[in-house]
Chain A
Amino acid sequence: MSEPRPVSFRGGGFAPKSVRWIGAVVFIALIAVAEIGTQTGWISALTLPKPSDVLDTFVQLYQSGLLWKHLTPSLTRLLVGALLGVSVGISVGVLIGLFSYIRSGLVPLVAAIFPIPKIALLPLFVIWFGIDEGSKYALIAFGTFTPTVVATYGAVDNVDRTLIRMGQSFGLSWWSIVRKIVLPGAMPGILSGLRISLAIAIILLVAAEMLGAEYGIGAYILEAGSLYDLERLFVGVAILSLLGIGVSAAIGAIERYLLRWRN
């Protein structure tokens, strides 16, 4: 009999968890490096504006009241456009998920539309919907529509068929099955698709505002960029980032509420 040798541990890992505050620490560290670098001259003022100057510019923007003048139209465009695109997208996605003919007819069409950079169609939308708000709503709606459709019909496809058979076996009506089994079952997939759709919506918002908008975050960034005013450029970009974080947090809250049965 020889001495027992310990069995070495080889499990664990492959299970990343989100650790609180680490995200914020990374942000603060990056900004601190930029601040120290620009203060000491190690990073030249031409390469990167001082974060403190960017903050000053932001405060000025806020105090002058221009912040809301830019932000309000942007948020309205985002809301109207995304609401249109997402609601039509979910409806069409559910129809594709449920009906063979609609599926066969629309899936190739969606596949054809998906890779078109929607920005390229902006002139077309200007002709169709006018230079005003219409074309901006249309661009954002169109851009959010395709990813929402794809996510939705994928999610409907993944709804457990045994649950649907169960509904049928209890004599539930078609509409009840869709409302009480298909839609809640597809909700996780629809919401994760929504994250992508809304990020695209923000990208397209800026693109739309770079063409013919007096006010809006996009217009603000375009103006700053053409003047090479890096402080204002960075203020605009930071606002977009914050907008993205806000949207993501909002979807997170919706998920926590609608999908509380999962956690």
Chain B
Amino acid sequence: MDIHLSNISHRYDATEVMRDISLEIPSSRILCIVGPSGCGKSTLLRIIGGLERPSAGEVGQIGDPPEGCLNPLTYVFQDFALLPWRTVEGNISLVLEDHGIDGAKKQSIIADVLARTKLSDFAKALPKQLSGGMKQRVAIARALVVNPAVMLMDEPLSALDSQTRELLMDDLIALWTRTPFTAVYVTHNLAEAVRLGHQIVVLSRRPGEIREIVEIDKPLSERTFGDPDLEAPQRHLWDLMREEARAADAELIHV
């Protein structure tokens, strides 16, 4: 299933947040969206998944979601969004219960996804007992369990320290290599973008427009920490963004 964005524009009252964004999201690839703060990248992600309505333009699905898909457009949030009163198991169970999956079938699905994300030992733990990295692994497991057609990842590693971030990037790459999934990955971290993105969309500052789409051909599994091949694209991204990031930083916020 592909996602097609046509001429998305969005404004909050008098503020124009993004303008005329058209984009193809091809399946089984990771598309990163980067841009200076306030360029509306998270808003765009909320629009793609139907959590927010664009002022103009339209998001379309091309083709049908895969067999057994419970929730075609599934988010992974920056702040994990785990229910603190449910265990790891319970948090994953939450998104199955509404689809009438219960009993032994539910248990086996949960056990399977926990094994895939190496969380089996934590099934009975409460979120507050887990480190940030573990919490995000649970959130990723919860997203995977519904067999999404597209994963919408909103700065999923931004709340984590840099070492945990490296570990989780390796995990994401391993998961993708095993079964390629489609993802839209919003981040402000260029190192993450060049490690995980097949395509990197650079947005301009507010109102956000697409400035350039950078393709990186090197297979994900061959990209490594401090990869010299990724240095050039990362520098290119930074050159594109530097001035705008500076301007965005110096901007007064009108609320």
Is the pair B74, A170 in contact by a Cβ cutoff of 8 Å?
A: yes
A163 touches B (CB below 8 Å): yes
Query: Which residues of A are found within 8 Å of B86, using beta-carbon distances?
Result: 261
B98 touches A172 (CB 8 A): yes
CB of B101 closer than 8 Å to a CB of A: no
Q: In the bound complex, do residue B95 and residue A170 qualify as a contact, i.e. CB atoms below 8 Å apart?
A: yes
CA distance A162 to B79 in the complex (A): 8
With the chains together, A167 CA to B77 CA distance in Å? 12
- Residue A261 contacts which of B79, B97, B128 (CB distance < 8 angstroms)? B128
Contact A184 B83 (CB under 8 A): yes
Is there contact, CB below 8 Å, between B71 and A165?
no
Whether the Cβ atoms of B77 and A261 lie closer than 8 Å is no
**Is A102 an interface residue when CB atoms closer than 8 A count as contact?**
no
The residue on A at minimum CB distance from B73 is A169
Q: A181-B83, A261-B85 are in contact. Are A169 and B74 (CB under 8 A)?
A: yes
Q: Are B49 and A170 in contact (CB under 8 A)?
A: no
- Residue from the list B73, B75, B98 in contact with A166, Cβ < 8 A: B75
Closest CB of chain B to A145's CB: distance in Å? 27
Q: Answer yes or no: B81 CB below 8 A from chain A CBs.
A: yes
Q: Are A261 and B49 in contact (CB under 8 A)?
A: no
Specify which of B51, B71, B98 is in contact with A176 (CB 8 Å cutoff): B98
Secondary structure type dominating chain B contacts: loop
Quick one: CB contact mask for A98-131 with B, threshold 8 Å, 1 for yes? 0000000000000000000000000000000000
**8 Å CB contacts to B: which residues of A210-263?**
259, 261-262
Contact in complex: A169, B49 (CB < 8 Å): yes
Task: Tell me which residues across on chain A come within 8 A of B71, comparing CB atoms.
Answer: 169-171
| Residues of B contacting A262 in the complex (Cβ-Cβ under 8 angstroms) | 84
Task: Decide if A172 touches B95 in the complex (CB within 8 Å).
Answer: yes
When chains A and B are docked, how far (Å) is the Cα of A262 from the Cα of B85?
A: 8
The count of residues in chain B whose C-beta lies closer than 8 Å to any C-beta of chain A is: 22
Q: Which residues of A in the span 157-189 have a Cβ within 8 Å of any Cβ on B?
A: 162-163, 165-173, 176, 180-181, 184-185
* Residue B160 is within 8 A (CB to CB) of chain A in the complex: no
Expressed in whole angstroms, the Cα–Cα distance for A169 and B94 within the complex equals: 12
A-chain residues with CB within 8 Å of residue B84 when the two chains form the complex? 261-262
- In the complex, A261→B98 CA distance in Å? 23
C-alpha spacing A176/B86, complex, angstroms: 14
B191: Cβ under 8 A from any A Cβ: no
| B113 in the interface (beta carbon within 8 A) | no
B85 CB contacts on chain A under 8 angstroms? 184-185, 259, 261
Closest chain B residue to A176, Cβ basis: B98
- The chain A residues found within 8 Å of chain B, CB to CB, are 162-163, 165-173, 176, 180-181, 184-185, 259, 261-262
Please name the 6 residue pairs, one residue from A and one from B, whose CB atoms are nearest each other, closest first. A166-B81, A261-B85, A170-B95, A169-B75, A184-B85, A172-B98
